[in-house]
Structure 1
Amino acid sequence: MIQEHKRRFLKVLVAKMEKNGTDPQELVKAVSNLEGDIRESYSEDLVPWILPSIRADLLLLENQVPYLLLQTLLTTSRLVTCLNKIAFKFFNYSLSKPEAFWGKHYGLDEAKHLLDLIRTTFFPVPSQGSIEDKIPSQGRIEDKIPSQGSIEDNCLTIFCCSARKSGSKSSFNDAGPPSFVLSAKNLHLRGIKFELKKNTDSILDISYSKGVLQIPPVVMDGFMASFILKCVAFEQLHADSSNHLTSYAAFMACLINEESDAVFLKERRILEDYYGTSDGVSQFYKNIGNEVAFDINKSHLAKVFEGLNEYTSKGFHVYCAEFVHTHFDSPWTFASSFAALLLLMFAALQVFFAAYSYFRPT
């Protein structure tokens, strides 16, 4: 479009020059004399600021080229360099992973395209050889479609996590499939301890055990937000793919229900926010979970959902944790609770001595 305007304006300029009796070739000569200075004003190399945009565009779902085609082109060109190594080196500027991390994934050869290749590197290492839903078996198509009666029971809609009220107690069931969990602050209110998981190189490697939820650190920036969106779209489109990133987005959408939840995770160094504001992060997960569904029973986080629901839905520890957080969560509430306790003790002593003096007069 802009090229058409350039030609039109050039014709207008030439017409005015000819009308004034000026030869248009004088323009050519004038520009030719300045060619060296003009070229120095432009970079022949690719400017660094454009690279993040190129990386983002290469991972767009509509821009994906079959991995087999890329591999064939590389083999035909007789270049020794591994295709995975080239891709990992290019995208590492945005992902910032150590060389040892990428080295473990040089052998990946089952990716559909570049987006699937980078997505696969996010899978937790222990799960790659153990869980069955990493790459489902290529059986009959009927086997991949859940029965009509199981869709409502087994599928979790992420929208429910982000749209519900954080304090809702009706979301817990004593029986049945795993359900969504409370927000981060409400889980903490009910006795869940949040810990930063350090011994992992995957943000998806979330674990839960005996009231302790371990979450790997995640750097939330524009690239990561865009990458998660694209992976969720890919997993929704391909029925034969795993739902690792969708599961992660669902879980984080439950945890980060409000801006205060994002601040809570940032204080524990679980969330490193370069996305903008804490409210921006919470809005991102609310938006990404707009009616996106997945089979939670095939999720690598199914046990985490189930464990958190079981721990926070019943038990004496829940009431103890709520009592402690209600009355001793801050210095002011502690001081007021302590003062109330002292007044209660003094009142009890006063009643005791009044009764004692009545029944045992001196």
Structure 2
Amino acid sequence: MDENNSSTEEINFAIKIPEVSKDRVLLMNQKISEPPRILSNGAGKASCSIFRVPKSLIEVNGKIYQPHIVSIGPYHRGDPQLKMIDEHKWRYLGSLLARTEKTRGLKLEDYLIAMAELEEKARECYSETIHLNSDEFAEMMVLDGCFIIELLRKAANLVLFEPDDPILSMAWIIPFFYRDFLRLENQIPFFILEKLFEISESKSKEPGLTLLALQFFDNATQRPEGVIEKHQDLKPRHLLDLIRLSLIPRSHPEPRSRRKTPAHIIHCVSKLRRAGINLRATEEDTFLSVKFQGGVIEMPPITIDDFTTSFLLNCVSFEQCHKSCTKHFTTYATLLDCLVNTYRDVEFLCDRNIMENCYGNDGEVARFINNMGKDVAFDIDMCYLADLFDDVYQYYRNSWHVQWAGFKYTYFDTPWSFISAFAALVLLLLTVAQTVYTVYSFYKP
């Protein structure tokens, strides 16, 4: 017993307990207690709607998510390349204040007080912690919000542009506004705009903010007459969400429950045509209204240009980040990615008036569409086109359709292939006739 106890004491004596740095423990506890800043705890709430675009999407699509001429909100506030329009924001704010002080007796303090009352609610809309004090935050909301509202009123001729206003006289500026106002990182909450619009509203009745915004962006979206008026009652989270919601067809809601049988991704245009599935342009209020019936995919036309590419990518990014919004644009981007593999698929869609290419050559459009679907989370069984995906897949699997369509595609797709097939058929018939005549003459000379 004595020998065992002594050996145990020797072992315990040999074990050295490492010392822990008190400063390290203090630093770790401090980091544990600090809330996240880059992606705050509130980013997962339904109230949060303005996000930084995920780095994985930026690596694929480049700088298309960043504003090029004007900053709205905190994420790009103070960027050196955006200072030119920042100076004009103050000019527009001054003209708005001069008008409302004269008509309604309102001063700058009234606007700042209104923003201070909404500060907490507005901060919750951003996925990052905004490192501005209350005064700076209220100033930013007033300056950016009043600039947008004043521009919308001037574009609708409710307020006159000043003589020689460069924003109007320089033709290149307004198209950049269309794109920059609809970038995910470049937003302020819509209820902020509504409050500023309400405060600065003139006594004479004017269109609502939603209608003014839709009319402003209609110069870029170019929708049929009368479509915009249908969306005056929308409740968007910001300007990007407003235009996105106005394009979502009410006749194509997302399913509420998962399908009993899983849907499948479909093939590209070239393979679908070989299987007897055709594509046809159709007239609808929005390009998202895609249908499949009678072996034909009906797609409303879409113009691929600088505005559309920027808008589509930012809508997809918003749907990837916001947990409560529908995924209509993600689904449409996936559909295009399925249909287009090479420039030949783009060429066919353009020939059928489904796509108008104002972006570049057909190869560049194909690359854009393929990149649009990269690193994007997509649930095919819960998307608004789940039935279409499955119907096209089942039609494609039908062997009779595939064989007959493949025969027509090979021999009757072009006039030359038809002539070659017809000539081969005539030659075959002549050969058979000659053989029959030879055999007949042999037995009955």
TM-score by length of 1: 0.72
1:341 corresponds to which residue? Answer: 425
1:62 corresponds to which residue? Answer: 185
1:283 corresponds to which residue? Answer: 367
Query: Aligned ranges for residues 1-362 of structure 1 at < 5 Å?
Result: 43-46=164-167, 47-79=170-202, 80-109=206-235, 111-127=236-252, 131=253, 176-198=261-283, 200-358=284-442, 360-362=443-445
> Aligned with 1:61: secondary structure?
coil
Distance apart, 1:178 and its partner CA:
1.5
Q: Per-residue displacement from partner, 1:123-156 (whole Å, max 9, x unpaired)?
A: 11423xxx355xx8xxxxxx9xxxxxx9xxx9xx
Distance apart, 1:282 and its partner CA:
0.6
Q: 2:295, 2:230 → 1: CA distance?
A: 32
Q: 2:224, 2:396 → 1: CA distance?
A: 37
Distance apart, 1:241 and its partner CA:
0.9
Distance apart, 1:190 and its partner CA:
1.3
Gaps of 5+ in 1: 3-41, 137-142, 144-149, 155-174
Residues 291 and 297, structure 2, Cα contact 8 Å, conserved in 1: yes
Q: Per-residue displacement from partner, 1:198-257 (whole Å, max 9, x unpaired)?
A: 2x1110000001211111011111100110000000000112111111111111111121
> Aligned with 2:227: secondary structure?
helix
Distance apart, 1:176 and its partner CA:
4.9
Q: 1:328, 1:74 → 2: CA distance?
A: 62
Q: 2:174, 2:240 → 1: CA distance?
A: 17
1:35 corresponds to which residue? Answer: none
Aligned length in residues: 280
Q: Per-residue displacement from partner, 1:253-299 (whole Å, max 9, x unpaired)?
A: 11121111111111111111111111111111111111212111221
Q: 1:259, 1:201 → 2: CA distance?
A: 27
Q: Which stretch shows the higher mean deviation, 75-84 or 234-243?
A: 75-84
- Residue 280 of structure 2 aligns with an amino acid whose one-letter code is E
Q: 1:98, 1:251 → 2: CA distance?
A: 24
> Aligned with 2:172: secondary structure?
helix
Gaps of 5+ in 2: 1-79, 82-162
> Aligned with 2:188: secondary structure?
coil
> Aligned with 1:104: secondary structure?
helix
Q: Per-residue displacement from partner, 1:164-193 (whole Å, max 9, x unpaired)?
A: xxxxxxxxxxx9522221111221221112
2:127 corresponds to which residue? Answer: none
Distance apart, 1:98 and its partner CA:
4.0
Q: 1:316, 1:216 → 2: CA distance?
A: 29
Q: 1:78, 1:310 → 2: CA distance?
A: 56
Q: 2:172, 2:422 → 1: CA distance?
A: 58
Distance apart, 1:315 and its partner CA:
3.0
Seen in structure 2, the aligned counterparts of structure 1 residues 86 and 190 have a Cα distance that, compared at 3 Å, is: same
Q: 2:224, 2:413 → 1: CA distance?
A: 40
Q: Per-residue displacement from partner, 1:293-330 (whole Å, max 9, x unpaired)?
A: 21112211111111111111223122111001111222
Q: 2:356, 2:330 → 1: CA distance?
A: 20
- Residue 54 of structure 1 aligns with an amino acid whose one-letter code is F
1:38 corresponds to which residue? Answer: none
TM-score by length of 2: 0.59
Distance apart, 1:343 and its partner CA:
2.3
Distance apart, 1:56 and its partner CA:
1.1
> Aligned with 1:90: secondary structure?
helix
Moved over 6 A (4+): none
Distance apart, 1:332 and its partner CA:
2.3
Q: Per-residue displacement from partner, 1:28-80 (whole Å, max 9, x unpaired)?
A: xxxxxxxxxxxxxx944413310111221111111111112221222232445
Q: 2:207, 2:197 → 1: CA distance?
A: 8
RMSD value, Cα: 2.3
- Residue 228 of structure 2 aligns with an amino acid whose one-letter code is W
2:92 corresponds to which residue? Answer: none
Distance apart, 1:115 and its partner CA:
0.6
